[in-house]
Structure 1
Amino acid sequence: MKTWLISLALLLCLLLPGSDVWAQNLPPFPQMPLGSGLPAVTVQTGPHGEQTWTLSMQLLALMTVLTLLPALILMMTSFTRIIIVLSFLRQALGTNQTPSNQILLGLALFLTLFIMTPVLDQSYTQGFKPYMAGTLSAEQAMPLALAPFKHFMVEQTRDPDLQLFSKLAHQGPYAANADIPLRVLVPSFVTSELKTAFEMSFLLYIPFLIIDLIVASVLMSMGMMMLSPTLISLPFKILLFVLVDGWSLLLGTLAGSFYT
């Protein structure tokens, strides 16, 4: 203990600004020139009018895109429908936290990746690959990269929802899917996904609700009104879900609903 205190005292003495050891052993602190700091954000203009963004501006744009990435995954892919149906399944089974939120999110993410792989491959081939090769500029590559996502969202969007948001935005009708702006297409797509997810969840809920009603009526007829029906119906619901191979049936139906 005394050795530890002595070592700490010597370290404090070395760190004091007026210590001779500090002045003898450490090199002088470099003087920073006036006006130094973070580099300014500038745009360099080439001889033909093209503009080149500095590294600091590119990093700022990259960080902005990374912050918007979760919203893009939620709103422009199949993730919304999948996670809603899986959440309703857990409620219908009556299991409070089984499967856990982490498992449901991981399953929804990987199933989303499975469904969106053709769209991602097409977007990479059309837009990002020519841009990385230098054959297309960012302004030319962006519409080509977004075209597969727009086509995917239009295929899953109901016409009334698209007409609703087009009317609210005072735009349309559109000659092609590529002409639909994202500020109209994304809310239309999300609204349609919510409707489809709730329809699938309702159909999924019915068999488990029937089991709850049967168990509750049997317990009431036997005079066991103080016994919770959930304790009795939960094993039967799990048994029914396992016997019909529920996970394969549900995930296959979710994946197939995007290809029809």
Structure 2
Amino acid sequence: MVLLASPLHAQAPAPVNDPTAPSATAIGGSLPAIPGLPALTVQTNPDGSQDYTVTLQILMIMTMLTFLPAILMMMTSFTRIIIVFSILRQALGLQQSPSNQILIGLALFLTFFIMQPVLNQVNENALQPYINEQITAQQAIANTTAPFHDFMLSQTRESDIALFVGIAGLEPIATPEETPFNILVPAFIISELKTAFQIGFIIFIPFLVIDIVVSSVLMAMGMMMLSPLIISLPFKIMLFVLVDGWAMIVGTLAASFGV
């Protein structure tokens, strides 16, 4: 005889105190809300300043990271250094040695060395106080831009600042410290290009003299079919090594920034 269990007795009710029994919340009730990032809001303080939520701050930081290469090239000592290195390689007559990767790497590390005082000020006055929640995001940005403003201002010619003030149609600036960033950054770039080409011209002269001497000697010997660059290249490399050229170039670049 086969006993068929009815649907009412197919499953015995779970005990009331059974921890494995499904709760009413899990069966059909509402789950607790999962906390997330705050909304995109801006809070105005009593003093008139504004605080942004973490979401907006992360969005602004990610946006600023896209401008990091431009900031590195246009607001630091990188431009002057890499141009001088390129002119030096051209003066030596070397086309691919040192390679572009080596020159850029050397320029980057030398840039970090020269910009170390500025980076220390940014870390002490902006980054660490902001991490410790001692200042707001706007104050951190202001404390970050101030050291870069002072650095660029010290390396920019007044004539270049006056040039861009005239192009923008602004009133004459009373003091250099009041120069806005939209005027200071292009003026700084133009000044860096001028200074880099001046240093490159001085570097080029001794190697040019060697090329002229070698060409004159070859012409006097009637060896006009022989390229002077093949003969002058070993002499230029030897001269550069004997005078410890890399130390002189790096020292000159660092001294030009007041390091």
Who is 1:196 aligned against?
A: 195
2:135 partner SS = coil
**Residues 151 and 177 of structure 1 are in contact (CA less than 8 Å); yes or no, is this contact kept in structure 2?**
no
Who is 2:227 aligned against?
A: 228
Q: Which of 43, 47, 51 is residue 40 of structure 2 equivalent to?
A: 43
**Aligned pairs for 1:242-257 within 5 A:** 242-257=241-256
Shift of 1:62: 2.5
For residues 50-73 of structure 1, give each alpha carbon's deviation from its aligned partner in whole angstroms, at most 9, with x where no partner exists. Answer: 554353x44432221111000000
**Residues 44 and 51 of structure 2 are in contact (CA less than 8 Å); yes or no, is this contact kept in structure 1?**
no
Partners of 2:171 and 2:138 lie apart in 1 by 23
Who is 2:131 aligned against?
A: 132
**TM-score w.r.t. structure 1 length?**
0.79
**Residues 94 and 234 of structure 1 are in contact (CA less than 8 Å); yes or no, is this contact kept in structure 2?**
yes
Does 2:100 align with 1:101?
A: yes
Who is 2:181 aligned against?
A: 182
**Aligned pairs for 1:38-187 within 5 A:** 42-46=39-43, 51-53=51-53, 55=55, 57-187=56-186
Partners of 1:46 and 1:122 lie apart in 2 by 28
Distance 1:173 1:144, change over 3 A: farther
Partners of 2:175 and 2:126 lie apart in 1 by 19
Shift of 1:215: 0.4
Query: Unpaired segments of 5 or more residues in structure 1?
Result: 1-38
- Percent identity, aligned pairs only, is 54
Distance 1:54 1:258, change over 3 A: closer
Partners of 1:82 and 1:47 lie apart in 2 by 44
Shift of 1:171: 2.9
| Equivalent residue letter for 1:53 | T
How many residues end up aligned between the 2 structures?
221
| Equivalent residue letter for 2:91 | A
Who is 1:258 aligned against?
A: 257
Select the structure of larger CA radius of gyration. 2
Shift of 1:259: 0.3
Partners of 1:104 and 1:190 lie apart in 2 by 20
For residues 21-67 of structure 1, give each alpha carbon's deviation from its aligned partner in whole angstroms, at most 9, with x where no partner exists. Answer: xxxxxxxxxxxxxxxxxx99952355958554353x44432221111
Partners of 1:175 and 1:252 lie apart in 2 by 35
RMSD in angstroms over aligned alpha carbons? 2.1
Higher percent of residues as helix: 1
| Equivalent residue letter for 1:181 | P
